[in-house]
Amino acid sequence: MQVTQLKCGGIIVGCTFDHRVADAYSANLFLVSWSELMKSEILNPNDQVTSRIYYVTGDKIEHLQLLANCHDDQKGTSQRSKLESFSAFMWKTIACGINKETWGFNNFRFGIVVDGRTQLIINNVDKSLKGYFVNVLSIPFGEKKVEEVKEKSLNWVANVIHEFVDIAKTQEHFLGLIDWIEAHRPEPSMAKICAMNGDGPAVVVSSGQHFPVKKINFGWGKPALWSYHFPWAGKSGYVMPMPSPKGNGDWIVYMHLLKWKIELIKASPYHVFKSVTANYLNLI
């Protein structure tokens, strides 16, 4: 299903059915029910999850990393990564647009996806994990007051992110996670940040920086654009930065967030995010 609003004001509604499951009569029943639901008060258009794709130039990413490290007065502290710096900017950008009196949010949760394969392979736990086809991920997160994220520096926010990510980037963390899953099998499990219905919004940043673009060719050349989409339930949105097909250090950033979060990001005075166009992708 897809609903697209045109610049001229019109709306295109698209829906795909598998004829092995439903006939035209059944499809009509669905469309009528769907339209009735859209008109009801059950759905608030301001609370709907939407998707956008932007690009961020390499110099902007480097600038964010510089800001995330420039006030670090802790001697011997490792430099914050580009992903940590970018995530800190995302956290602050959304938080700064939240009016506590209007929105009623007190807290804001922010998570980062950590790849367990890398940690376990580095520590020689199991080399076969390179070909292991299943989830080996953890989503550590932090929860802070919205006002605190607003007021603190980007460096402070990046340090908060680094602290909770660093805890999960250990062999012990993932071995413990594996034990927990085995103990609760076959009950399904979900990352805590995705399941919580706490006081305030939640965002998860993943990373598609290792997308194997050089190995993917279906016979007609290198892809012009690539991204990941995970249609998970709930309102914990996610952001997926990936390398630009230009190969110049830019990032393609896929966002699957509540509409009001997208609007806050678009309204940011720093103009970090730019819309992906055919010209940018060298398709014209």
List the catalytic residues. Answer: 19, 217
Sign of CA dihedral 137, 160, 202, 208: negative
Show the DSSP H helices in 40-153 as ranges: 58-69, 82-96, 100-103, 116-122, 146-151
Q: What are the Cα distances from residue 160, in Å, to 87, 114, 169, 250?
A: 11, 15, 15, 25
* Residue 103 identity: W
H/E segment holding residue 3? strand 2-5
| CB within 8 Å of 230: residues ≥ 6 apart | 238, 256
Q: Which residue has the tokens 């938080």?
A: 95
From CA 107, how far away is CA 208, in angstroms rounded? Answer: 28
Sign of CA dihedral 49, 254, 120, 144: negative
